Chain A
Amino acid sequence: ASPIPAPNPRPDIAYNKIFINNEWHDAVSKKTFPSINPATGEVICQVAEGAKADVDKAVKAAKAAFQLGSPWRRMDASQRGKLLNRLADLIERDRAYLAALETLDNGKPYAISYLVDLDMVVKCLRYFAGWSDKFHGKTIPLDGDFFCYTRLEPVGVCGQIIPWNFPLLMQAWKLGPALATGNVVVMKVAEQTPLSALYVASLIKEAGFPPGVVNIIPGYGPTAGAAIASHMDIDKVAFTGSTEVGHLIQKAAAESNLKRVTLELGGKSPNIIMSDADMDWAVDQAHFALFFNQGQCCCAGSRTYVQEDIYNEFVERSVEKAKARVVGNPFDFKTEQGPQVDEKQFKKILGYISTGQREGAKLLCGGNPAADRGYFIQPTVFGDVQDSMTIAREEVSAP
């Protein structure tokens, strides 16, 4: 494997405003909000705070870019694919910078940003680039003297609201399919982690996407996010985040204009280890399933069920592994676990840990903050957990 380039732990922040029509705008209100470095608790920079007025501007731009006869509507499907591949090329060119920016804003270890997040982002865009000109309709042998065919057409203006746990990857997962199929986008990035997505916006312009095709708004859920979910001129909303907010999004979509809704929400995924499993491999995988990305994955294996006869040994080995996990400065190549994404998550997690103890789960290791600065939490293992306990039922999103 080629060596990972050394990171610049203080990357320059070139883009911190609202991206509409391939241009950078202040918020209509002129307000800004701070983006925080979770490893230190310090402010990285101020970012324009988009709200309803900015969403309105973005939707207007997106609608214009989607007009019948516009450059985007007239573009060959294969050309959309070329633009997506070009975007992937540019992300590859700036891979080290983006990985550093992602680590600075989210706290995930740089080696992982570089090797995993950025790798998957590039692959996702290339995958969808290839699909662009392969969306087939059908001819249908219906009853009667008719010729019948289906046409797959883009939905239109897609509102996309993405989370903070995989900022770049969530952006690629939303943009790839939407752009491959010819839609236009108004994307709200998470207030905890806006920076990498905004840099990608500059690459979207550089790649040659027409103005208005992608518009990106940093801002908060109850303002900018809600404005998207209830917008009368947005045709579809796609949201990744908590189930609690998912409810609000679907309700808002229903109350406004019946826009189509897709939701990727929380989980409490069971990981079941039978006694005939390869013990080493199972311990390894179960550890990875939970602890990856500081435990901040919707698909985290957060209920590990171990068959009785191997339970004790499995627990012992899992605790050993957790104790050995290296927590520290995410820019350090030795680090396996960085900080949690922000103070709110940090406090919530400590609350769950204390609830776990109170309800009678056995704290086998960890359970405390791992440093005096930043939002680091020790890798924590609970044994003898019962299904009725809060930590067995609610999504903790933690190591």
Chain B
Amino acid sequence: MKKQRSDSNPAPVMPALPEPLKDLKIKYTKVIVDHVSVFLFPPQADVDKAVEAARKAFELGSTWRTMDASERGRLLNKLADLVERDRLILATMETIDGGKLFSTAYLMDLGAGIKTLRYCAGWADKIHGRTVPMDGNFFTFTRHEPIGVCGQIIPWNFPLVMFIWKIAPALCCGNTVVVKPAEQTPLSALYMGSLIKEAGFPPGVVNIVPGFGPTAGAAISHHMDIDKVAFTGSTEVGKLIKEAAGKSNLKRVTLELGGKSPNIIFADADLDAAVEFAHIGLFYHQGQCCIAGSRIFVEEPIYDEFVRRSIERVKKYTLGDPLKPGVQQGPQIDKEQYKKILELIESGKKEGAKLECGGGPWGDKGYFIQPTVFSNVTDDMRIAKEEIFGPVQQIMKFKTIDEVIKRANNTTYGLAAAVFTKDIDKALTFAAALQAGTVWVNCYSALSAQCPFGGFKMSGNGREM
């Protein structure tokens, strides 16, 4: 039976994909404070200087504090324009620095980054307080005021997008920021520093300090003059950040941490779509996504067929230089991650999961790992419990609704989840029953600037966007 579709919504047209820049010159490699590149040492001194600048830019009566909210929006839109102008530079940079496929960087990362800047630009002058009919002879109103100096520590998997997800809402609300990009991928953030200056943001509003977590990152989370810290990264470091905030000045904390997200496939699902979404949901960006669907629960009757199709989907992969067209998978980000993933793959083999394909390194240069599929995975195995952050797909079997709800929720994580079914009752039940910040129905990884994002339990505190 052919599915009835509306005739009037054609598929969206992607912009044409240019070739990556052959000759990328890295101009910005220093700490940026007050629009000025500085180089201080040790990292604490850099952070202190950045905080001082951010604090000054936030003083009552400063340019930034007296700027119309709509003008903040205009600056964010101008920044979006500049990112669009330099889209090719940034995409090439992101690929070289992060090992990301160029097509993905150009189309998805840059696309999402630009849209997020424009979305937040639109919000700037729509942040409403309220008048409140309280008891007694009083006039009461709430004012939404910027928190102040926001420390923002971002990861290496989506360097530019994470940079923009942090600064856009913060600037839209009138805060000033001190950003520490990941040591593995500082370049696009630093380039953004130059665009922020070009767009016309006052000095001190955005300050960028490249460095390492235990030094620069810790300096931020412990700082007595930072009002809030926002961190995206591992749960392990998230705990350190929150603890440091509690020890120092009780700064506000938001965290976006790890996940081990369940993807539940029922026999009544559209199997083609399910296999495809489960595949992209895991293998996107070499598996280096906090929302990766890394526990795929498949209903018994379709289990074998699902596994067969998943293996086939992955077998034809071309690995290689992410700048080149026709490559489907690039390298893992660094040696540390590479070793960790291989170790977890070995644990899968040792603990009795069935290795269907892949299972080891690829090539003799760089940090490439073969796309790997494990079937017959049971819930107690390490690969079913620990976040792998690599191209390793786990496929488990289930029988009943109650059983899979329990198993899906049986984790300290709670970032995302998905269910594939055509039955509306099942879909709505799972939307409510799954302990996850985002639940996808018949899709995976659908994210957009308009949606709030964040985790339950140890996947995070608070919501972004």
Tell me the A residues contacting B by CB distance below 8 Å: 68, 123, 140-146, 148, 150-151, 153, 235, 243, 246-251, 253-255, 257-258, 260-261, 263, 265
Q: In the complex, which residues of chain B have a beta carbon less than 8 angstroms from the beta carbon of A243?
A: 250
Q: Is B247 among interface residues, defined by CB-CB distance under 8 A?
A: yes
**Given A143-B115, A150-B452, A254-B239; A246-B250 close (CB under 8 Å):** yes
Name 8 extra pairs, CB < 8 A, besides A150-B452, A258-B458.
A142-B449, A142-B451, A144-B12, A250-B242, A254-B241, A255-B243, A257-B412, A265-B250
Question: How far apart are the CA atoms of A258 and B257 in the complex, in Å?
Answer: 10
**Given A151-B432, A235-B457, A255-B239; A143-B246 close (CB under 8 Å):** no
The answer to whether A263 and B405 have CB atoms under 8 Å apart is: no
The answer to whether A260 and B461 have CB atoms under 8 Å apart is: yes
Q: How far is the CB of B453 from chain A (nearest CB, A)?
A: 11
Question: How far apart are the CA atoms of A153 and B432 in the complex, in Å?
Answer: 9
Q: What are 10 sample pairs from A and B whose C-beta atoms fall under 8 A apart?
A: A142-B448, A143-B448, A146-B446, A146-B448, A148-B451, A250-B243, A254-B242, A254-B246, A255-B243, A258-B239
The answer to whether A146 and B450 have CB atoms under 8 Å apart is: no
> How many B residues, CB 8 Å from partner?
34
**Given A246-B250, A258-B255; A142-B450 close (CB under 8 Å):** yes
A247 is contacted by which of B235, B240, B246 (Cβ under 8 Å)?
A: B246
Q: In the complex, which residues of chain A have a beta carbon less than 8 angstroms from the beta carbon of B431?
A: 151
A251 is contacted by which of B12, B243, B432, B461 (Cβ under 8 Å)?
A: B243
Give chain B interface residues in 241-267, CB to chain A under 8 Å.
241-243, 245-247, 250, 253, 255, 257
Q: Is B38 among interface residues, defined by CB-CB distance under 8 A?
A: no
The answer to whether B238 and A258 have CB atoms under 8 Å apart is: yes
A253 is contacted by which of B246, B432, B433 (Cβ under 8 Å)?
A: B246
A140 is contacted by which of B246, B450, B457 (Cβ under 8 Å)?
A: B450
Question: How far apart are the CA atoms of A144 and B449 in the complex, in Å?
Answer: 11
Question: How far apart are the CA atoms of A235 and B255 in the complex, in Å?
Answer: 15
Question: How far apart are the CA atoms of A151 and B430 in the complex, in Å?
Answer: 12
Question: How far apart are the CA atoms of A142 and B447 in the complex, in Å?
Answer: 8
Q: How far is the CB of A67 from chain B (nearest CB, A)?
A: 11
B451 is contacted by which of A140, A247, A258 (Cβ under 8 Å)?
A: A140
B247 is contacted by which of A140, A247, A258 (Cβ under 8 Å)?
A: A247
Q: In the complex, which residues of chain A have a beta carbon less than 8 angstroms from the beta carbon of B461?
A: 258, 260-261
Question: How far apart are the CA atoms of A263 and B412 in the complex, in Å?
Answer: 24
The answer to whether A143 and B452 have CB atoms under 8 Å apart is: no
Question: How far apart are the CA atoms of A377 and B245 in the complex, in Å?
Answer: 37
Q: In the complex, which residues of chain A have a beta carbon less than 8 angstroms from the beta carbon of B242?
A: 250, 253-254, 258
Question: How far apart are the CA atoms of A251 and B245 in the complex, in Å?
Answer: 8
**Given A151-B432, A235-B457; A251-B255 close (CB under 8 Å):** no
Give chain B interface residues in 72-100, CB to chain A under 8 Å.
none
User: Contact mask B157-185 → A, CB, 8 Å, 1/0?
Assistant: 00000000000000000000000000000
The answer to whether A143 and B405 have CB atoms under 8 Å apart is: no
CB nearest neighbor in B for A256: B239
A145 is contacted by which of B9, B243, B253, B457 (Cβ under 8 Å)?
A: B9
Q: How far is the CB of A270 from chain B (nearest CB, A)?
A: 15
CB nearest neighbor in A for B459: A258
The answer to whether A144 and B448 have CB atoms under 8 Å apart is: yes
Q: How far is the CB of B439 from chain A (nearest CB, A)?
A: 9
Q: In the complex, which residues of chain B have a beta carbon less than 8 angstroms from the beta carbon of A247?
A: 246-247, 250
Q: Is B147 among interface residues, defined by CB-CB distance under 8 A?
A: no
Question: How far apart are the CA atoms of A224 and B257 in the complex, in Å?
Answer: 29
Q: Is B135 among interface residues, defined by CB-CB distance under 8 A?
A: yes
Q: Is B302 among interface residues, defined by CB-CB distance under 8 A?
A: no
Q: How far is the CB of B220 from chain A (nearest CB, A)?
A: 15
User: Which 3 A-B pairs rank lowest in CB-CB distance, beginning with the nearest?
Assistant: A250-B246, A254-B242, A254-B243
Give chain B interface residues in 365-416, CB to chain A under 8 Å.
405, 412
CB nearest neighbor in A for B240: A254
Q: In the complex, which residues of chain B have a beta carbon less than 8 angstroms from the beta carbon of A150?
A: 452
Q: How far is the CB of B426 from chain A (nearest CB, A)?
A: 15
Q: How far is the CB of B81 from chain A (nearest CB, A)?
A: 19
A144 is contacted by which of B235, B240, B446 (Cβ under 8 Å)?
A: B446
CB nearest neighbor in B for A143: B448
Q: Is B443 among interface residues, defined by CB-CB distance under 8 A?
A: yes
Question: How far apart are the CA atoms of A248 and B452 in the complex, in Å?
Answer: 30
CB nearest neighbor in A for B452: A150
Q: In the complex, which residues of chain B have a beta carbon less than 8 angstroms from the beta carbon of A249?
A: 246
Question: How far apart are the CA atoms of A246 and B451 in the complex, in Å?
Answer: 32
Question: How far apart are the CA atoms of A115 and B251 in the complex, in Å?
Answer: 37
CB nearest neighbor in B for A68: B433
Q: How far is the CB of A212 from chain B (nearest CB, A)?
A: 19
Question: How far apart are the CA atoms of A263 and B449 in the complex, in Å?
Answer: 30
The answer to whether A143 and B449 have CB atoms under 8 Å apart is: yes
Q: How far is the CB of A252 from chain B (nearest CB, A)?
A: 8
CB nearest neighbor in A for B12: A144
Q: In the complex, which residues of chain A have a beta carbon less than 8 angstroms from the beta carbon of B432?
A: 151, 153
Question: How far apart are the CA atoms of A248 and B433 in the complex, in Å?
Answer: 33
CB nearest neighbor in B for A243: B250
The answer to whether A250 and B239 have CB atoms under 8 Å apart is: no
Q: In the complex, which residues of chain B have a beta carbon less than 8 angstroms from the beta carbon of A255?
A: 239, 243
A143 is contacted by which of B235, B239, B450, B457 (Cβ under 8 Å)?
A: B450
Give chain B interface residues in 201-238, CB to chain A under 8 Å.
235, 238
Q: How far is the CB of A323 from chain B (nearest CB, A)?
A: 29
Give chain B interface residues in 422-465, CB to chain A under 8 Å.
431-433, 443, 446, 448-452, 457-458, 460-461
CB nearest neighbor in B for A247: B246
Question: How far apart are the CA atoms of A145 and B115 in the complex, in Å?
Answer: 16
CB nearest neighbor in A for B455: A258
Q: In the complex, which residues of chain A have a beta carbon less than 8 angstroms from the beta carbon of B247?
A: 247, 251
Q: In the complex, which residues of chain B have a beta carbon less than 8 angstroms from the beta carbon of A261?
A: 246, 253, 461
Question: How far apart are the CA atoms of A210 and B270 in the complex, in Å?
Answer: 42
B135 is contacted by which of A123, A145, A148 (Cβ under 8 Å)?
A: A123
Question: How far apart are the CA atoms of A263 and B452 in the complex, in Å?
Answer: 24
CB nearest neighbor in A for B6: A145
The answer to whether A257 and B246 have CB atoms under 8 Å apart is: no
Question: How far apart are the CA atoms of A250 and B448 in the complex, in Å?
Answer: 32
Question: How far apart are the CA atoms of A146 and B439 in the complex, in Å?
Answer: 12
Q: In the complex, which residues of chain B have a beta carbon less than 8 angstroms from the beta carbon of A146?
A: 443, 446, 448
CB nearest neighbor in A for B433: A68
Q: In the complex, which residues of chain B have a beta carbon less than 8 angstroms from the beta carbon of A246?
A: 250
Q: In the complex, which residues of chain A have a beta carbon less than 8 angstroms from the beta carbon of B243?
A: 250-251, 254-255
A141 is contacted by which of B135, B246, B446, B450 (Cβ under 8 Å)?
A: B450
The answer to whether A250 and B250 have CB atoms under 8 Å apart is: yes
Question: How far apart are the CA atoms of A243 and B249 in the complex, in Å?
Answer: 10
Q: In the complex, which residues of chain B have a beta carbon less than 8 angstroms from the beta carbon of A250?
A: 242-243, 245-246, 250
User: Contact mask B247-291 → A, CB, 8 Å, 1/0?
Assistant: 100100101010000000000000000000000000000000000
| Residue with the greatest number of chain B CB neighbours at <10 A, chosen from A143, A145, A261, A265 | A143
CB nearest neighbor in A for B242: A254
Question: How far apart are the CA atoms of A151 and B457 in the complex, in Å?
Answer: 16
Question: How far apart are the CA atoms of A254 and B236 in the complex, in Å?
Answer: 10
